[in-house]
């Protein structure tokens, strides 16, 4: 067991480091022209991302070694603090509006997105609760949903549909692992479809995203612009792509290519083989994480590790599905790879927690 556990922890960290290194390289390539036009430099995003990486690895090391993270009272505190941050971000003068969403808190030259931290705090807090109070076919503990409803409601007020959606899916995955009955998921699917329709109808921009997904050419310069430009990056790439640094779509055709649509640039420059390598690295990460969860001796470790790795995998699937035209645009980052400090740091926090909960000492 110790040898197997150590090997799988090694696979986990190798996959995470490879994806992060790929992100550093392609943040530079994808953002070089955008940075030159808007900031007069070719590497402003690279410099910031390297700073974020230093912070991320430091926090990963701390999370991996601090045994206090294995205590429920720690996560009770973190959960309520994360809710306070979600409230703070809605206060004018504290919260910063970007792309129509008040989701950020400015910290000098850097910024913090509280919803990213809230996802982890909610998952681990519920993992502790479920490890002691498992649902059965005859009884569902509806108070579990209160722990989910509070952060989701605050995130939707911002509004940040992408983060709320990932949190909801991740928590429902946790409920499934914890043994929630099948009838609950039948109800969930019906309620989820109804809720999704309601959210789409309540905000015109979401309906436009659905229309753009079904037929992006109906509005090629508006709601369908990003989807079309992404497909124009991916489509001609072939097996090997156009070579590193030779993307054409990054020349202001694809808005902010270093962010949510960075996978388009990776595919354009490195082709099918490059895209497949990234997907395989995510596959290795998920496999290693699930093996660690399966080998866990404590329920809370099983629930936490499996759900965190599931959250990372689902977010990667969602991002790649969006940029390849398989899913409507949702505005979520590609874990480890997209430019952004909070995304990178929080993803490495998740890896640190997985590392911590898989310890045998």
pLDDT by residue, tens only, the chain of 361 residues: 455 567 889 999 999 999 999 999 999 998 888 888 878 777 888 989 999 999 999 999 999 989 889 899 999 999 999 999 999 888 887 878 776 778 888 776 667 888 999 999 999 999 999 888 755 544 566 778 888 899 999 998 888 888 888 999 999 899 888 887 777 777 777 776 776 667 666 666 666 667 666 677 777 777 677 888 888 889 888 899 899 988 888 887 888 888 889 999 999 999 999 999 999 999 999 999 999 999 888 899 999 999 999 999 999 999 999 898 888 777 789 999 999 888 899 999 999 999 999 875 4
How far apart, in whole angstroms, are the C-alpha atoms of residue 30 and residue 252?
A: 10
pLDDT of residue 138: 47
> For the chain, what is the domain count?
1
pLDDT of residue 341: 82
Residue 360: C-alpha distances to residues 67, 89, 357 (Å): 12, 38, 8
Q: Which helix (H) or strand (E) holds 162?
A: helix 161-177
pLDDT of residue 3: 53
Mapped onto helix, strand or coil, the DSSP state of residue 105 is: strand
How far apart, in whole angstroms, are the C-alpha atoms of residue 210 and residue 22?
A: 31
pLDDT of residue 176: 86
Handedness of CA 336, 337, 338, 339 (dihedral sign): positive
pLDDT of residue 175: 87
Strand order in the sheet with 95-98: 95-98, 101-107, 110-112
Q: Which domain holds residue 217?
A: 2-357
Residue 312: C-alpha distances to residues 166, 342, 348, 349, 352 (Å): 9, 14, 10, 12, 13
**pTM for this entry:** 0.90
pLDDT of residue 137: 44
pLDDT of residue 354: 95
pLDDT of residue 202: 65
pLDDT of residue 216: 72
Structure tokens at 351: 């890896």
- 77, HSE (Cβ side, Cα atoms, 13 Å): 7
């Amino acid at each position: 067991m110790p040898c197997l556990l150590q090997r799988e922890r090694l696979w986990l960290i190798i996959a995470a480091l490879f994806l992060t290194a790929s992100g550093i390289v392609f943040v530079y390539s994808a953002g070089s022209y955008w940075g030159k036009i808007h900031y007069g430099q070719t590497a402003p995003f690279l410099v910031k991302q390297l700073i974020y990486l230093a912070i991320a690895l430091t926090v990963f090391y701390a999370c991996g070694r601090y045994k206090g993270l294995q205590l429920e009272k720690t996560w009770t505190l973190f959960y309520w603090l994360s809710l306070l941050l979600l409230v703070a971000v809605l206060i004018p003068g504290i919260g910063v509006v970007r792309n129509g969403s008040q989701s950020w808190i400015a910290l000098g030259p850097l910024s913090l997105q509280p919803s990213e931290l809230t996802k982890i705090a909610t998952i681990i807090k519920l993992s502790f609760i479920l490890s002691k109070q498992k649902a059965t076919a005859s009884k569902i503990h509806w108070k579990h949903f209160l722990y989910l409803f509070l952060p989701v409601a605050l995130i939707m007020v911002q509004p940040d549909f992408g983060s709320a959606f990932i949190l909801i899916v991740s928590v429902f995955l946790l409920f499934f692992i914890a043994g929630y009955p099948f009838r609950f998921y039948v109800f969930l699917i019906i309620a989820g479809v109804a809720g999704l329709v309601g959210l789409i109808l309540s905000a015109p921009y979401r309906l436009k995203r659905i229309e753009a997904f079904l037929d992006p050419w109906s509005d090629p310069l508006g709601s369908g612009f990003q989807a079309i430009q992404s497909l124009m990056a991916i489509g001609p790439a072939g097996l090997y792509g156009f070579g590193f640094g030779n993307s054409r779509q990054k020349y202001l055709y694809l808005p902010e290519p270093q962010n949510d649509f960075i996978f388009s640039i990776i595919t354009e420059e490195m082709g099918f083989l490059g895209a497949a390598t990234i997907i395989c690295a995510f596959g290795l990460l998920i496999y290693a994480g699930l093996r660690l969860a399966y080998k866990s001796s404590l329920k809370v470790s099983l629930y936490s590790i499996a759900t965190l790795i599931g959250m990372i995998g689902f977010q990667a699937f969602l991002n790649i599905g969006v940029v390849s035209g398989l899913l409507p645009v949702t505005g979520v980052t590609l874990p480890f790879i997209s430019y952004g400090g909070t995304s990178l740091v929080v993803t490495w926090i998740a890896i640190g927690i997985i590392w911590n909960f898989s310890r045998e000492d």
